[in-house]
A and B are shown apart, each in its own frame.
Chain A
């Protein structure tokens, strides 16, 4: 009886092993994912990342190994995030960290975990120029990448639009966090470069009951136009007070205001002259393909911030891991990133078939040009991406409408012209 049981158990074990063998490869590679899953907007970012890992596994895995994406929550707390990253590097022996979102978490992970330990790190959503400075000083050892364009693209095209519209003066209202402070000062420099006088730069703090003081201060500068680097919540409050006090309705706004809530709360009658900028919606088939694939997978369109960026961060880093091989170190993976984003390579889509084709080519030593949710991504020497830009507005029916596409080259040319 006992013998029987043992043999049945052995058979079962064999069956399980055999099954596992066909479903996935015979080895697993741990990959660390550190995103703020306990925050509502962090969950879809983490889900998107895990989805990419599943697709990579379906396409054959990294160098024949199944990707084991270990998800850790940062709680948007630098201490929790750094600890999670440290545990992933030391205990799970990962060579690749995907994360984080908030710059205040991403940077200490880079400076105290990834860079000293030689692990590659890629972030979907950190926008601060601090990261560029750290890379420029050599603090990142070439191990850091991000798929979120720095705010400079948006600042440049905002100045381009203001110049086109013939504004001579403008006042900047910016959200008082790292993103807003960055964008506010970059935009001020760009406007000044384009010959537009910046009357004032006014910080808008979160969660204030009223912005009367800030709005009055802005109004006193009598600008021809208002530049809004704000999120919808405070954007609504500020713009409503601004209009009720008789301010101009010539607005230039950032991609963060691309929100139906903002349009409804302010009212279309005041947003006729509103022009928005965005750096993250490219004119490529791959971007639409991402939206379709996401919608099919999650039964909802990608509505939160940073989702195409999260998709691309995961896909590019895992493909580079594949190119570098299963035993690669962080530095070796980082070295293969240009091979995945080579503009001269064969264009590759962000789906299972595309990943399978990319892995085939990469294994043969051929570069590929990955075309993802944010278009054809290329990194500069600091791991930053540039991006094409678009202008958008709230169309006649109130729907968010793209009105003009500015290629990467045009953005760069304008940038050079105002320096």
Chain B
């Protein structure tokens, strides 16, 4: 029983960390229409920033300043924001697939940087031994797992509330206006460049929060953590959950991560012995099929975007009139 709770706490911690990253992506794609193909770069900036500032001293690298956890995390988030600001200034005039390709390139470049800047990031050997925050004070591994989960959930709730307020504010409406029709928004006196850059930086900082929590949970980071598959996983979570809906983003993170882990668990347990060796490949096929199925039959995601109208309470927009790029692909 304790084992079950312990595993569920572990699973939920991981899913909640993913959910925070998905919320960041949702601000980019769901609300502003920015196709960020380089989620790992900003996740990684948060992760490495936190690790360098808060990690244990190491003779071979510059970092390891051993700063308090929250200070290190804040530093990681600021680093992610700064990276986003620089990338944003360079790419903010790009649209859709062009932006996707350039941000994807940024992610590859960032991974390459962490792999080669051995004096700073430890190279491919990675950075190890982040002192798990407050572990010594708690002592018990099981209780620690629950407390860490509570902390991550608190961060998730704070990010969620912050984003909900943001997207319901005039700023959020302006973002959606840009997403739908930039020229029209400009004609109404909005500054799309500035709004897009702001959205890009805020969303990336949220991804940085997820990265910082991730390294403090794993006590290790290496370039292997920044493989492009992570960007794919986070996108899959947003697509399944529902772009433009923060609750959908969280739901998608938990569902996809559950599918990812449960399929591995069930195949390991129930697949015939002769098939054991192929369960990894079967898992890929299963998850791929779920995502393709989702795109074909419910492209708006499980929880579609809700439109606020001045006439009354929230109403779900009929799928046929949805105008975001994702949904168009499925509807036409």
Q: Which residues of A contact B (CB under 8 A)?
A: 36-39, 43, 46-47, 50, 70-73, 75-80, 82-84, 86-87, 89-91, 93, 102-105, 107-108, 111-112, 116-117, 128-130, 133-134, 137, 139, 176-182, 203
Whether A87 contacts B277 in the complex (CB less than 8 A), given A76-B224, A77-B229, comes out as no
Query: Quick check: A73 and B283 within 8 Å, CB to CB?
Result: yes
Chain B residue with the shortest CB-CB distance to A113:
B10
Decide if B4 is an interface residue (CB 8 Å cutoff).
yes
Decide if B217 is an interface residue (CB 8 Å cutoff).
yes
Query: Quick check: A73 and B279 within 8 Å, CB to CB?
Result: yes
Selected from A46, A77, A108, A128, the residue in CB contact (under 8 A) with B125 is: A128
Query: Quick check: B220 and A90 within 8 Å, CB to CB?
Result: no
Query: Quick check: B277 and A178 within 8 Å, CB to CB?
Result: no
Q: Mark B7-24, 1 if CB is under 8 A from A, else 0.
A: 100110010000000000
Contacts of A84 in B (CB 8 A): 261, 264-265, 268
Decide if B191 is an interface residue (CB 8 Å cutoff).
no
Chain A residue with the shortest CB-CB distance to B227:
A77
Q: How many residues belonging to B are interface residues under a CB distance threshold of 8 Å?
A: 47
Contacts of B225 in A (CB 8 A): 78-79, 104
CA distance A46 to B275 in the complex (A): 12
Query: Quick check: A130 and B126 within 8 Å, CB to CB?
Result: yes
Give the most central of B3, B220, B284: most A CB within 10 Å.
Answer: B220
Q: Which residues of B contact A (CB under 8 A)?
A: 3-4, 6-7, 10-11, 14, 56, 115-116, 118, 122-126, 128-129, 132, 135, 141, 144, 217-220, 222-225, 227, 229-230, 260-261, 264-265, 268-269, 276-281, 283-284
Query: Quick check: A112 and B277 within 8 Å, CB to CB?
Result: no
Chain A residue with the shortest CB-CB distance to B10:
A86
Query: Quick check: B279 and A82 within 8 Å, CB to CB?
Result: no
Give the most central of A73, A89, A176: most B CB within 10 Å.
Answer: A73
Selected from B115, B116, B129, the residue in CB contact (under 8 A) with A139 is: B129
Count of A-B residue pairs with CB < 8 Å: 139
Contacts of B144 in A (CB 8 A): 116
Query: Quick check: A72 and B264 within 8 Å, CB to CB?
Result: yes
B58: shortest Cβ distance to chain A, in Å?
Answer: 8
Contacts of B217 in A (CB 8 A): 112
Query: Quick check: A38 and B281 within 8 Å, CB to CB?
Result: yes
Query: Quick check: A90 and B128 within 8 Å, CB to CB?
Result: no
Selected from A72, A93, A104, the residue in CB contact (under 8 A) with B126 is: A104
CA distance A84 to B220 in the complex (A): 17
Contacts of B6 in A (CB 8 A): 90
CA distance A180 to B125 in the complex (A): 10
Chain B residue with the shortest CB-CB distance to A47:
B277
Query: Quick check: B7 and A50 within 8 Å, CB to CB?
Result: no
Chain B residue with the shortest CB-CB distance to A180:
B124
Whether A87 contacts B265 in the complex (CB less than 8 A), given A71-B276, A80-B260, A108-B219, comes out as yes
Query: Quick check: B218 and A112 within 8 Å, CB to CB?
Result: yes
Contacts of B132 in A (CB 8 A): 116
Contacts of A129 in B (CB 8 A): 125
Query: Quick check: A36 and B280 within 8 Å, CB to CB?
Result: yes
Whether A38 contacts B125 in the complex (CB less than 8 A), given A77-B227, A117-B141, A176-B115, comes out as no
